Amino acid sequence: MISWPKWSDQTRPAVHVSLGRIGYDEGLAVQTAVHGHCVEDGWTDTFLSLQHDPVITLGRSSSTDHILATPEELDALGIITRPADRGGNVTYHGPGQLVIYTILDLRHHGKDIRGFVTVLEQAMLLALKPLGIDAERIPERPGLWIGDRKIASIGVAVRRWVTRHGLALNVNVNPEHFRTIRPCGLDVKAVSIHDLMDAAPRVESLAAPLVDQMAAALDLTVVHRTSSELKEALA
C-alpha cells in the first residue's frame, strides 16, 4: 500500500496528480474519495488536474433555464448534465479545458474562503501572463474575464474546512458546446486561449505551472504523484 503524504507544518507538502481525460462521474468519485481522506485521515492538500468528457454541471444556485439546448441537441453533441454541490450556476466542462480540483484544508490557510478564491484567480492570471494574455477579475463575478468574455470559471464547496471542486480554464474548447449554456447564468460569451493566440498550448502543459502558482501563494511544496499511485493509495 502506498502511503499518502500528510500535513506537516515543517514541510507543508501538497500533492499534484494528473488524471488525464476522465468522465465527470469517475472524476467526481476520485475527488470525493480524496476529500474524505483529507477530512478523516489527514491527507495533505491535493490538486487533481484533468480534462472532462463533455458535461454541463449545475451548481447550487443553478436554474435549468440557463441550459439553452434541448435534451435532444445535447445528446447529439454528446453532452451530459449533472448536479454539482459547488457554489455558482451553470458551467460547461469538456475536452480542451483544464480543470483543477483543489482539495485543501483551509484550517491551515486562515479559514479564509474568499481569500482562497482570490488565490485561484491570481494563480490563473499569473499563468496566463507568459502567454501574453491579460485577463482580469470582476468584483462579484468569480473567475477570469477578457473584456466581457469569460475565460475561466471558479466554483468551490467546503466541508469541515476542506475544499472541493476548484477552477476551469478554457484552453481550446469547442465553441459549439459553449453555446449550449448561459455561463454562470449571465448573458456573456465564453472564450478560449486558442481564440487569443495563433497556437494555443497543450492543456496538459498548463497544469503544473498553474499548480505551482497556487502552491507558491499558499506556501506549499509540490510533490507529484501518478494516477496509478493515487489509485493504489485509495484502494
Catalytic residue numbers read 184
User: What torsion do the CA atoms of 8, 11, 12, 17 make, to the nearest 10 degrees?
Assistant: -110
Distances (CA, A) of 121 to 113, 163, 176: 13, 15, 26
CA distance 79 to 72: 10
**Is residue 52 within 8 Å of 169, Cβ to Cβ?**
no
Residues in the chain: 235
The helix or strand, by DSSP H or E, that contains position 208, with its residue range, turns out to be helix 203-217
How much is the CA Rg of the chain, to the nearest whole Å?
A: 17
CA distance 52 to 186: 23
**Is residue 46 within 8 Å of 6, Cβ to Cβ?**
no
